[in-house]
Structures are given as C-alpha cells and as structure tokens.
Structure 1
Amino acid sequence: MSPPTPRYASEVRQRFLDGLLFWEGRVNRRDLIDTFRVSQPQAALDLKAYLAALLPGQVIYDTRQRRYEASAAFRPVFGVPSIDTWLERSRLAGLAIEVLPTLDRPLDASLMAHLYRAIRDRKTVHVAYQTMRRASAEDRSITPTAFVSDGQRWHVRAYCHLREAYRDFVLSRIAFSADQVEAGVESAELPVDSEWCSWVTLRLAPAAHLEENQKRAVCWDYGIDGELFVTVRRALEFYAIRRWGLDRAESRLSIVERTESASNPGATA
C-alpha cells in the first residue's frame, strides 16, 4: 500500500483537533506532536489551517495555559465525531469505562462468503440446518437473497425449497460442505418476497401504565417529544418488537399505531 498523501495526512490531524476540541474542550500543538510524532513547525501549520476553518469566536486562546479552548459557540468543522473512538481513546488514557460483554454467536466468515456469492449469482445451495425443534440437522435446499442482523445474531434470508416459502436461517446453525455450496445450481424464477418488499411504520409512545413523570423520563431517554416513529421491513418487524421489548408487559414503550406501505416512507429519492 502506498503511504497517505500529505493532504490526507493533514486532514486526519485536523479531524483529530476537531474531535479533541469537541470532547476535551481544549487543544494545543503538543497534542499533535505527541499523537502523530510530527515536528513543531508541522504541528503549528496544522493547527493554523484548522483554526482558519473555524468561525470567529468559536475558540479562545488562553495565554496562561498556552492552549486554545472551545467557546460556547464552538461547532465541530467535520461534524459530531465518533463516540466510540473517543471512548476507546479515553479508556486507554485511564478513564473508568466499563461495557458489558455481548454473548456473540460465532460467525463463520467462510460460510458467509459462500452465501454471499450465492446471493450475487442467484444460486441455490444445499445446507444442513439445525432448528430448535428437531433432534438433528435437516437437509435443506435454499436460495439466499439477503443478510439480516437483529442486533444480536446474523441470519440469511432465503427461499426454502423444502417449505416453499421465504425463511430466515440463523448463520450459526448452518452446517455446510464447501463442495455442496460451490455446486449450487442457478435458481429458477423465485416468487416475490412480499414481506421483504413491504414496510411497516410503528408509532411508539411511552407505555400507558407509566406515571406522568415516568413518561417524561422515557421521552428524555429516547430524545422524543411524546412519540417515536420507526420504519422497518415487514420481514423484520418480529425481530424489532422482540429486540426492543415491545412484546413485554413491563415495556416502557408501546405501539400506538402500525401502518404498512409498499415502499420505505423514510427513503429519499
């Protein structure tokens, strides 16, 4: 790989300054020198170029501390920076940050690659699939059409030739032989996946069983003014309801209204 161009490297450093002012509220040349190992003259040039992109009054120079500090009018030049990047940087710097581990399902990259090629080439492949109901895996011929994540595990959406319908198959429950997958044959014309091609908009609001102060707290939690609209494919509605706990009696949000449409109402042309 070729080294980054000077212009790209300079932008990376300016984005760093932008993020530092946003999170820390202060910045100076030493931050660039320590992080990127650049010379003092180069750090001065980068800082000067970055400050020139700001509107007057967005930063104030503290002569005693010899640093620039963000004013109340500061707005990041490159937009709100990544929270994850800042959290990782702060964690390495010693800030107390703890994140509960996720119970991830194993994801077989080789299987995903084969299924991706089957989607791309519209191939029917042969797999063994372990359901929760059967004692042993069952042989299936499937024609994959899309990958889906419900936020906790990955599925492949496919037309199941055994059930003669579209199904979602959990990737970690699929056993396959590379020879069988590679030997997949071109699929015949598939029926329309109506659930995938239609959309559902859920109008959510604080649950009716909550007290007024609790409803207000829920609105603050989700940054809403009384209602929240979420649009998902109809095929994913079940996962959305389960993931967000909308099917539980103790849920803090409830579905006020559900509307279907043939296209995504939130999509832009």
Structure 2
Amino acid sequence: MARPKKIASLTKADKKTSTMANKWSRLRRIEFIDFRLCVDGKINRADLVSFFNISVPQASLDLSYYRELVEKAKPSRTNLIYDKHLKVYVRADDFIPIFPNRCSPETFFSDLKMVSTNQLDADRCFFGFTPDVGVASLHNPRRIVSPEIMCNLIDAMRAHLVLHIVYSSVSSNKKDDYLIAPHSFGFNGLRWHVRAYCYDSHTYKDYVLTRIVSTEKPRTAAPSDRFPDPIGNGFKEIGTGGKDDKDWN
C-alpha cells in the first residue's frame, strides 16, 4: 500500500499570513465584546461562539484577553463583571470602550438605521438587542453596484486611466456609451456617484453608480482632452485629473 504523502510545512509567508489573519479575527472579536457591553450591557461566551463560530474555550480566552486590555489601558478600568446569578458578563460602572469610534452614538445610530432598513450585512451587525425604530422618511430601495464595476472604477482612479461605460440615462430612457476618466466618489445622502471627466461632452460630470450598466477593464492612460474650440479658432485642451476639476475642488 502506498504511503500517504507528507503534508508540506508552512512557509514563512504562510505562517505570517496565518498569524495576521488570527490577529485580525481576534481584533474583531474584542471589538464585538466592546460593542455588546456598550450597547447591550452584557455578553457571554455563547454570543461569541454563535457569531464567530469559535469554540467555547476560545471565547473564554477572548474574554480574558479583553479583561487584560482594559486593565492595562489608560485609565485602567474593569469594564465587565461576571454576574453569577445571570451567568453573563455585565457592563461595569467604570466602563469606557476600547473602541470609542465603534461604540460612538454616530456609529450606533448609523448602524441602527441600516439594520432597520435591511441594509447592514449580517457579518457586520454586532447588535444583540435592537431597539424598535420608526423611520419618518421615505427610503429608496437598496441599490446594488456590481463588484466588477466598482473594481474597474477604482482601478481607473488609482492609475488615472480612461474607462468606457454604458450608462442608463433617466432623462432619455436609453443606454448611452461614454468614455470617462473617473477621479472621485461622492455621496449625496441617498446615493453614490462617481465624479469623472467625460470625453464625449468635454466636461466633468457626476454619474450615479447604480445607473452604470457595464464597464470595460481600464487599460489606457487618461490623456488631456484636446478638441476644437467652440468659441474661438484652433483647439482647446483640458486636463482630466481630479486636480483639474475646478467645480469639484
């Protein structure tokens, strides 16, 4: 019978990647503990086991590690106390979050709004108790941007490349082709736009991301736009980068 092949040992790069992944996972779990104590006022091992799919011993280690962090923090504090009657860790009177931004009212209410409108992904939702929310304004349906379009836009921005897009216009109710040089994203409170120079109209424009039907992979550097001057004789040349967009700046 043939001997089973020996499994190759991890390379240094593999070990480094594995170590970084474990650190990142632990960081998220510590952030989770911090958030649950702040918002729910309590946490137990089962919360960690259920959310992160880890073992009970690992959950115990994470809670112990969290306790060590708050004891070494400035100012030193307790943050959590084990309630033997409830069999959970409860928020201590001296609680100060380790992650103040994650536990800030701004983040809490932003996430709460997303939860109430089904826009917060499950792996980002740290809520245990979720208060009832009444939204007193109309919400547009969740708009989906394909990963391919997002990556092509980012690639074009990073290297200042031209990008061919097919765009669905509301005014004309048809799909138009444009050659653009994108440089920034913008959010108006309701939807995301991409700010770009349009070679077809010889000006900078905003394009709603969810109306971009398709894109080609960007490969060509975005040149300055040179075209016949509509006012005078000769040609006019315009830069197509973000620094050249006066209205944006």
Task: Return the TM-score normalized by structure 1.
Answer: 0.51
String of CA shifts for 1:5-30, please: whole Å, max 9, x gaps: 77666655544443333233345667
Considering only aligned residues, what root-mean-square deviation do their CA atoms show, in Å?
4.2
Structure 2 residues not aligned, in runs of 5+: 1-13, 112-122, 225-237
Change (3 A) 1:90 1:134: same
Q: 1:137 aligns with which of 175, 182, 190?
A: 175
**Which residue type is aligned with residue 35 of structure 2?**
G
Change (3 A) 1:53 1:169: same
Q: Kindly state the Cα deviation for residue 103 of structure 1 after the two structures are TM-superposed.
A: 0.6
Q: Kindly state the Cα deviation for residue 90 of structure 1 after the two structures are TM-superposed.
A: 1.8
2:248 is matched with which residue?
Answer: 196
Alignment of structure 1 residues 6-25 onto 2, 5 Å: 13-25=29-41
Alignment of structure 1 residues 184-223 onto 2, 5 Å: 184=220, 186-188=222-224, 190=239, 192-197=244-249
Q: Kindly state the Cα deviation for residue 47 of structure 1 after the two structures are TM-superposed.
A: 6.2
String of CA shifts for 1:172-191, please: whole Å, max 9, x gaps: 3334563xx55656322616
Q: 1:75 aligns with which of 77, 96, 101?
A: 96
Counterpart contact for 1:156–1:171, Cα < 8 Å:
yes
2:146 pairs with 1:108: yes
2:71 is matched with which residue?
Answer: 52
**Which residue type is aligned with residue 162 of structure 1?**
D
Change (3 A) 1:138 1:21: closer
* Partner SS state of residue 185, structure 2: strand
Q: Give the Cα separation in 2 of the matches to 1:114 and 1:65.
A: 52
1:125 is matched with which residue?
Answer: 163
Q: Kindly state the Cα deviation for residue 170 of structure 1 after the two structures are TM-superposed.
A: 1.9
Residue range with higher mean Cα deviation, 18-27 or 166-175? 18-27
**Which residue type is aligned with residue 39 of structure 2?**
W
Q: Give the Cα separation in 1 of the matches to 2:218 and 2:78.
A: 63
Q: Give the Cα separation in 2 of the matches to 1:47 and 1:111.
A: 40
Structure 1 residues not aligned, in runs of 5+: 198-269
Q: Give the Cα separation in 2 of the matches to 1:8 and 1:185.
A: 36
Q: Give the Cα separation in 1 of the matches to 2:176 and 2:23.
A: 56
Change (3 A) 1:185 1:69: closer
Q: 1:156 aligns with which of 194, 200, 216?
A: 194
Q: Kindly state the Cα deviation for residue 60 of structure 1 after the two structures are TM-superposed.
A: 5.7
Q: Kindly state the Cα deviation for residue 160 of structure 1 after the two structures are TM-superposed.
A: 1.8
Task: Return the TM-score normalized by structure 2.
Answer: 0.54
